[in-house]
Amino acid sequence: MAVDMKIPPVGESITEVTVGTWYKKEGDHVKMDDVLCGLDSDKATFELTAEADGILHILAQEGDVLPIGASICTIDGDGSAPAASPSSEPAKAEAPKPAEQAAPVAESAPALQPVAEPAAAAVATGGSVIEMKVPAVGESVTEVTIASWSKKDGDQVALDEVLCELESDKATFELPAEAAGTLRIVAQAGETLAIGALIAKIETGTAAAQPAGSPQPAPAQPASQEKSAEPASNGQNGYAANYPSPAAAKILDEKGVNAQQVQGTGVGGRITKEDAMKASPAPAQPAPQPAAPKPAAPAPAPVASAPIAGSRNQRREKMTSLRRTIARRLVAVKNETAMLTTFNEVDMKPVMDLRNKYKDKFKEKHGVGLGFMSFFAKAVCAALKDFPAVNAQIDGDSIVYNDFCDISIAVSTDRGLVVPVIRNAEQMSFAQVEKEIVRLAGLARDNKLTIEQMTGGTFTITNGGTFGSMLSTPIINAPQSAILGMHNIVERPVVVNGEIVIRPIMYVALSYDHRIIDGKESVSFLVRVKQILEDPSRLLLDM
């Protein structure tokens, strides 16, 4: 009996959802409570679990938008064995010819040719199969993307050996093997999986000697099913080489590309959605022209347009989880906050003179260089004490004031911008701030920052001046209420005591949420930072 799976109600105000990633494939054997796919609403992402055991038939593809209550897939029976015929007589009457026995198995009736599950094969040979699932990596992380595989399908792996690298929207971490044996990859690089989803299997003991899901002799197929036949199974969830997934088949049909002409990179040579997107459309075949009498005069040949010089190639790359999260959060900040930016300029000569005077002795004593960031961090901490609203944040109908300064420092990496946090910076010395900056920046560039090291900041400092930026309007790092932007230092003519002199000037920008910070507070805060930087002795006297 087929079970009709429908979109469940997920919230009072949610009327539709978008089908995210399918973790199971068309024709897969699923079990009760297996995660089938991810569903995205305008407020959250959640998982759809199987309501019964059986064979999965997908009705909606990735990216489809469905209303609440719409059918998304069906599950046929328990999928444990092919349905038995009512009697032996019809089977004898409809016994196919020898040529028909080698015909492909019909996709519409996959239950007629079950493929041995890896676990079942392992039991038969005395071994076991360890299922590797995506581990929980943080309270707010619901999915990860497979960045790259360190091992290949069928490789022998040792206990605790790194199998692949997983990437979340906040950090990157490694997945070690939970046992020694033969690796069977289930999810490919680039796929996005929910927490707890199956990512690979490890065959231990004698189970490793027999490939998972080896092909079994197929029973004779009725001739009436040959019309919807597909290639014989290669032992990977009932799919064969050069056979496209449902999403890939749709793309290939739109392009007019024959699946047999596409090289699949999925498990067992299966054609994935990415393979279909990269496939080139088949050239249009000219239709045969009927014989026609020769014209009285030949038509003039059309003038060929001049070819465009230079390369016209395009590349399409899937966004990483980090980049998708950055994009989503930045748009949310622009839409959900009353963001405003105020500017000022700072004469950096006093800081530069102090730094040049003591930087060698500072490095000799503390083992770390004296940079500009520690001056800005300490100046910001002093200003935040005087203007606590800049260090606060909105939580519903309340304002949360922080009596400590957790300063987030923006760091640019190959994967994107990350913002590690310096905890209790107001209690640190210049040397402690500089050492913490060096430590966190190193972890960021090595993709080893943890989620805890990037959450909980109360104020952010970003330095676009390292890349040559003269002026910018930085976007608030939610749920914080303000961010300070540093820029490059340029010698400019300024008036000092009635005389025009050349001084190293930096423009600074403060973007803030006008819902919580008034214009007077924002301007006064930035002026306070300017005063401290132009007279660093104020830090010693707490003035």
pLDDT one-digit tens code per residue, 287-336: 555 555 555 666 666 666 677 788 888 888 888 777 787 888 889 888 88
pLDDT above 80: residue 341: yes
Kindly report the CATH class assigned to 339-541: alpha beta
| Mean pLDDT value across the chain | 79
According to DSSP, the β-strands at 459-463 and 407-409 are: parallel
What are the DSSP calls for 450-515, one per residue?
-SGGGS--SEEEEEGGGGT-----PPP-TT-SEEEEE--EEEEEEEETTEEEEEEEEEEEEEEETT
- Give the active site residue among 53, 518, 535, 542: 518
Catalytic annotation present for 487: no
Mean pLDDT lowest for which of 150-164, 274-288, 520-534? 274-288
Q: Per-domain residue ranges for the chain?
A: 1-79, 233-278, 339-541
Confidence of residue 226 (pLDDT cuts 50, 70, 90): very low
Q: Among 226, 182, 169, 180, which Cα is nearest to 208's? A: 182
Number of Cβ within a 10 Å radius of residue 300: 6
Instruction: Grade residue 273 by pLDDT with cuts at 50, 70 and 90.
Output: confident
- What is the pLDDT, as a whole number, of residue 104? 39
Query: Which residue(s) pair with 345 in the sheet?
Result: 507
- 280 vs 150: which has the higher pLDDT: 150
pLDDT number for residue 430: 94
Under the banding of pLDDT at 50, 70 and 90, the label for residue 83 is very low
Helix axes 430-445, 372-386, angle to 10 degrees: 110
Least confident residue range of 190-204, 264-278, 355-369, 425-439: 264-278
- Match domain 233-278 to its CATH number in 4.10.320.10, 3.40.50.300, 2.20.25.10, 3.40.50.720: 4.10.320.10
Nearest to 269 by CA among 233, 318, 320: 233
The single-letter DSSP state of residue 543 is -
pLDDT for 102: 39
- In this predicted structure, the answer to whether residue 128 has a pLDDT above a threshold of 70 is yes
What's the average model confidence in pLDDT over 335-344?
94
Beta-carbon contacts of residue 216 (< 8 Å; ≥ 6 apart): 113, 114, 115, 116
Exposed, middle or buried: residue 476 (CB in 10 Å: 0-12, 13-18, 19+)?
buried
Considering the candidates 4, 253, 446, 514, report the single residue annotated as catalytic.
Answer: 514
Phi, psi for 419 (deg, rounded to 5): -135, 80
Count of Cβ atoms closer than 10 Å to residue 185 Cβ: 22
Question: Domain 1-79 is in which class?
Answer: mainly beta
Count of C-beta atoms within a 10 Å radius of residue 315? 4
Region 48-60: mean pLDDT is 89
Range from 222-226, 259-263, 265-269, 536-540 carrying the lowest mean pLDDT: 222-226
* 514 carries an active-site annotation: yes
Q: Which of the 8 DSSP states describes residue 244?
A: B
The per-residue pLDDT for 51 is: 87
Which pLDDT value is given to residue 159? 87
